[in-house]
Amino acid sequence: MKTFSRSCFIRIAVTGGAGFIGSHLVDNLLEDGNEVICIDNLDDYYSPTFKRNNIKPFIENDNFLFIEDDIKSKESLKDILNGVDYVFHQAAQAGVRISVENPSKPHEVNATGTLNLLEAALDTDVKKIINASSSSVYGKVEYLPFDEEHPNNPVSPYGVSKLLAEHYCRVFEELYGLKSVSLRYFTVYGQRMRPDLAISIFTKAALKNEPINIFGDGSKTRDFTYIDDIVAANMLCMQKGSGVYNIGGGESISISELAQKIKEINESDSEIIHTAEVKGDAEHTLASYSKAEKEIGWKPKTTIENGLKRYAEWVSNCQ
């Protein structure tokens, strides 16, 4: 393994570090002067080239090391985590809809992979795991906004797998003393976001004046969270917090309203088309973030309007 050229404050591993959220965390951690190990298997769920481009700016940084490996390999993780202080666990098989088609893969990656990581972290004296969870653990709505006490009734295999990962984190802290925190992200968006997500698809279509396709009647609502706010929450959790926290934008918007807003921001003539409903999608999400605000001092700073504008500008500059 690479020997870092100088002594830094701490050494941090980011699983899934070449992905959307992971690469933003890597960027922030390097700016703070930390040694960062980026672990990613470059899974072809979406373009490996896209992921390589995410971390391309860091490759020449003396404090950055990229390791192409898989969290399903427990023995590899033990070698990688030797000397690591903190782990930001972002690696996952994402995608609610893909989990409906193939429920085994999210279980293997998100549940078993997390268990492998926790065992390796325990064996190598990692101080804390910051685990990326999801609002998908809530599933069926009993009341809104979701607080952390809301019942967990996930409606997709993806949601089940993320809930299992949370429980493994909790049990490893209670039984073995391995500190952890699980952050329940509410639909994250922003620069370098996955190309299969609604805001990415809608924005790119709007910029080309192409049709915007919505699954169902567009009445489902979402709480969208800008990437900078996600990164801020993760950074706070290195030194604060335990258990689970909702990390959401705190605003509710329907998918139809989202598409219309994206059209307006981009001055687009795109036609909005409704297509067949898909299985596994939650009806509504909305975060109560009062626990995070109270215990770790976090609250969102980016409105959906401002976040969509910033993302559209980034996409325009990349085309």
Contact indicator for 298, 232 with CB cutoff of 8 Å:
yes
Residue at 37 is within a domain: yes
Find all residues with CB under 8 Å of 32, minimum gap 6, and list them. 9
* CA atoms of 57 and 68, how far apart (whole Å): 17
Q: How many CB atoms lie within 10 A of CB 29?
A: 27
User: Could you give the CA distance from residue 311 to residue 212 in angstroms, rounded to a whole number?
Assistant: 17
CB 225 within 8 A of CB 284: no
Note the pLDDT of residue 2. Answer: 56
Domain-located, residue 167: yes
Total number of domains in the chain: 1
Q: How many Cβ atoms from other residues are within 10 Å of residue 294's Cβ?
A: 11
Q: What pLDDT score does 276 carry?
A: 87
* Model pTM score: 0.95
Q: Which residue has the tokens 């809301």?
A: 150
Angle at 301 between CA 170 and CA 36, to 5 degrees: 55
- The pLDDT value recorded for residue 1 is 55
- How deeply is 60 buried, as exposed, middle or buried, from its count of CB atoms within 10 A (0-12, 13-18, 19+)? exposed
User: What is the extent of the structural domain holding 71?
Assistant: 11-186+226-248+281-297
Q: Which residues of the chain have pLDDT under 50?
A: 5-6, 8
Report if residue 267 sits inside a domain.
no
Q: In the prediction, which pLDDT does 314 show?
A: 96
**CATH number of the domain encompassing residue 112:** 3.40.50.720
**CA within 13 Å, CB half, 113:** 25
Let me know if residue 262 belongs to a domain. no
Q: What pairing do the DSSP bridges indicate for beta strands 188-189 and 11-15?
A: unpaired
Residue 112: Cβ-neighbour burial (10 angstroms; 0-12, 13-18, 19+): middle
| Calpha distance 166→171 (Å, rounded) | 9
Name the residue among 296, 282, 307 with its Cα closest to residue 146: 282
Is residue 111 in a domain?
yes
pLDDT digits (tens, 9 = 90+) for 59-92: 999 999 999 999 999 889 999 999 999 999 999 9
Residue-wise burial string across 152-171, b where 16 or more C-beta atoms lie within 10 A, e elsewhere: bebbbbbbbbbbbbbebbbe
The C-alpha angle with vertex 131 and arms to 98 and 178, in degrees rounded to 5, equals 135
The answer to whether 135 touches 187, Cβ cutoff 8 Å, is yes
Specify if 291 maps to a domain: yes
Distances (CA, A) of 207 to 201, 226, 273, 311: 10, 20, 16, 12
> Does residue 243 lie within any of the structural domains?
yes
Q: Quick check: is 215 in a domain?
A: no
Residue positions annotated with a catalytic role? 158
